[in-house]
Chain A
Amino acid sequence: MDKPLIMVGSVTYAIKGRDILRRMGYKANIERTPGSLNRVGCGYSVTVDDLDINRAKKILEESNIKVYGISGGESI
């Protein structure tokens, strides 16, 4: 199964989101959003190993980080 990705706007928000999740104790990282998932071209995603992806998305959105999609769901 592909790694779940939370797609955000830029590397800045990816790092910000990752740091928020890590401060909450989750194993989060960042990576480049694959082109197959990213119709608008060039972006970064947050990955998190030990948290439900929808819960992680909610955490980021509550921290004013715009989420453009999650993998496995709609692509942006």
Chain B
Amino acid sequence: MIYFDNAATTFTKPKIVREALFEAILKYGANPGRSGHLLSQKAAEAVYSVRQKVCSFFGAEDPAKVAFTLNCTLAANMVMKGVLCPGDHCIVSCLEHNAVMRPLHSLSQAGIEYDVAQVHSGSAEETAEEFERLMKPKTKLVFCMHASNVWGLRLPIEKIGEVCRRHGVLFAVDAAQSAGVLPIHMQAMNIDFLCVAPHKGLYAPAGTGILIYNTDRPLKTIIEGGTGTFSASFEQPEELPERLESGTINTPGICALSAGVDFVKKLSTQRIHSYEIGLVRRLYSGLSDIAGVKLYTDIPTEENNVAVLSFNITGMQSEEVAMHLSDDGFAVRAGLHCAPPAHSFMGTMEEGAVRVSPSVFNSAEEIDAFICCIRDYLRKKS
């Protein structure tokens, strides 16, 4: 099967990631930081080295403020529910994933207000102005995605971060679609919280998320439990990262994540991004020549997009198209992509869209084959 669903999770994983996972299962099998024996300490050292690597990769300040979560969705929940109190105001973009919208909706029923900032494709200044326009004295948090998992549109987080800094508002970024592909420097971009899905652009196995903290503002916890520290107390410890890591962390997954970061660094995010954008530009050009295919954005560019392209075939539901593509050997995702605001934005709530998201493991030939498949399908239907 030709896999074009990397926005859901990258597949295949690089050899060094697979090997690191297996090696960790063999060498770092003890529970890190729980026991005093050498195996536990060895596992803890391995995990700490990944904290350092991730801290450096994302331009954060302190490896002790790199927490490993179950996934990026939990990281987003931890931020929103940890920061916001009844009476607070939050600003999000009009493209957000349900990882942000569902907890926010839940919080809105408990007295938190929020507003939605319009994204202006291709105009970073206008998009940043939308966020600034919505600022209120009680605005406590801006939470936005770095790039849309449906349309590939890139948000100007540098400018939004600057707006937040000027207003003294916390800034959280959902980097699920951008980590490993776009440059992210938390300190330079005034990002207070970064939520990462390593199983996407960092080519790590699923089962671990990252929450990086770049502020001294404390987070209320939403999960409490054993941390291997201050065990005689029922109070959740104050210090990061253990405060946010109750229970046993995914040591093999974290070690494999480290190898994923190495993989991305070796290729460089710039080269990865450039290559992937080249593929979706090729796809866009091919699809735009086929009568009956509807595209919704301008041709992707490195400046304004990540390598995610969604389309429809006029008169058809997106799931039907995706099923045909699957029968023909192409893995894509159709429907609403857990991001109904993004579909409201484009007017595709009814039919959804067919999403194509290549990775470094895809090729121009595979893109051409996909285009031929769509062309042949429409020819047979007409």
- Which A residues are within 8 Å of any B CB, using their own CB? 9-13, 15-16, 30-32, 39-44, 64, 66
Given contacts A30-B41, A43-B229, contact A12 B241 (CB under 8 A): yes
Instruction: For the complex, give the distance between the alpha carbons of A43 and B230 in Å.
Output: 7
8 smallest CB-CB distances across A and B, nearest first, come from A32-B36, A41-B232, A11-B33, A41-B231, A42-B231, A9-B239, A10-B229, A11-B44
Q: How far, in Å, is B214 (CB) from chain A's closest CB?
A: 14
A31-B36, A66-B239 as given contacts; A12 in contact with B232, CB under 8 Å:
no
Residue from the set B32, B51, B229 with the largest chain A CB neighbour count within 10 Å: B229
Is the pair B230, A15 in contact by a Cβ cutoff of 8 Å?
Answer: no
In the assembled complex, the CB of A17 is this many whole angstroms from the nearest CB of chain B, namely 10
Shortest beta-carbon distance, B28 to chain A, in Å?
13
Q: List, in ascending order, chain A residues with CB within 8 A of B242's CB.
A: 9-10, 12
Residue of A nearest to B232 (CB): A41
Supposing A10-B242, A11-B41 touch, asked if A41 and B233 sit within 8 A by C-beta, the answer is yes
CB pair A12–B64 under 8 Å, yes or no, is yes
CA distance A39 to B233 in the complex (A): 10
- Give complex CA distance A9, B41 in Å: 15
Are A15 and B45 closer than 8 Å at their CB atoms? yes
Other A-B contacts than A12-B242, A13-B239, A40-B230, 6 sampled, CB-CB below 8 A, are: A10-B227, A11-B48, A15-B44, A39-B232, A40-B232, A41-B233
Chain B interface residue bracket vs A: 20 to 34
Interface residues of B in 201-230 (CB under 8 A from A): 227-230
Q: Whole-angstrom distance between the alpha carbons of A13 and B64 in the complex?
A: 7
Within the complex, which residue of B41, B48, B231 is in contact with A12, where a contact is CB–CB below 8 Å?
B48
Is the pair A12, B233 in contact by a Cβ cutoff of 8 Å? no
The interface residues of chain B lying within 8 Å CB-to-CB of A41 are: 230-233
Q: Are B36 and A15 in contact (CB under 8 A)?
A: no
Chain B residue, CB-CB nearest to A8: B239
Q: A9-B239, A66-B239 are in contact. Are A16 and B48 (CB under 8 A)?
A: yes
The interface residues of chain A lying within 8 Å CB-to-CB of B230 are 9, 40-43
Contacts of B63 on A, CB cut-off 8 Å?
16
List of A residues within 8 angstroms of B180 by Cβ: none
**A76–B48 Cα gap in the complex (Å)?**
25
Contact code string B232-250 (vs A, CB < 8 Å = 1, else 0): 1100010101100000000
- Which of A9, A13, A30, A44 has most chain B Cβ within 10 Å? A9
- B residues engaging A (CB < 8 A)? 32-33, 35-36, 41, 44-45, 48, 51, 62-64, 227-233, 237, 239, 241-242
B51 touches A9 (CB 8 A): no
B residues near A30, Cβ cutoff 8 Å: 41
Instruction: Give me 24 A-to-B residue pairs in the complex whose CB atoms sit less than 8 angstroms apart, sorted by A's number.
Output: A9-B229, A9-B230, A9-B239, A9-B242, A10-B229, A10-B242, A11-B32, A11-B44, A11-B48, A12-B33, A12-B44, A12-B48, A12-B51, A12-B64, A15-B44, A15-B45, A32-B35, A40-B232, A41-B231, A41-B233, A42-B229, A42-B232, A43-B229, A66-B239
- Cα of A64 to Cα of B63 in the assembled complex, Å: 12
Bound-complex Cα distance A32 to B41 (A) = 9
Q: For A11, what are the chain B residues with a Cβ–Cβ distance below 8 Å?
A: 32-33, 41, 44, 48, 228
Bound CA–CA A15/B241 (angstroms): 13
For B241, what are the chain A residues with a Cβ–Cβ distance below 8 Å? 12
> Complex: how many Å from CA A11 to CA B35?
10
Min CB distance B226 to A, Å, is: 9
Q: Compute how far the CA of A11 lies from the CA of B63 in the bound complex, rounded to whole angstroms.
A: 13
A47 to chain B, nearest CB (A): 13
Shortest beta-carbon distance from A28 to chain B in Å:
13
A10's partner among B33, B232, B233 (CB-CB below 8 A) is B33
Nearest B-chain residue to A65, judged by Cβ: B64
Question: Within the complex, what minimum Cβ distance (angstroms) separates B257 from chain A?
Answer: 17
CB distance from A31 to the nearest CB of B (A): 7
What are the residues of chain A within 8 A of B229 when measuring CB–CB?
9-10, 42-43
Contacts of B237 in A (CB 8 A): 9-10
Residues of A within 8 A of B233 (CB): 40-41
Determine the distance from Cα of A60 to Cα of B380 in the docked complex, in whole angstroms: 72
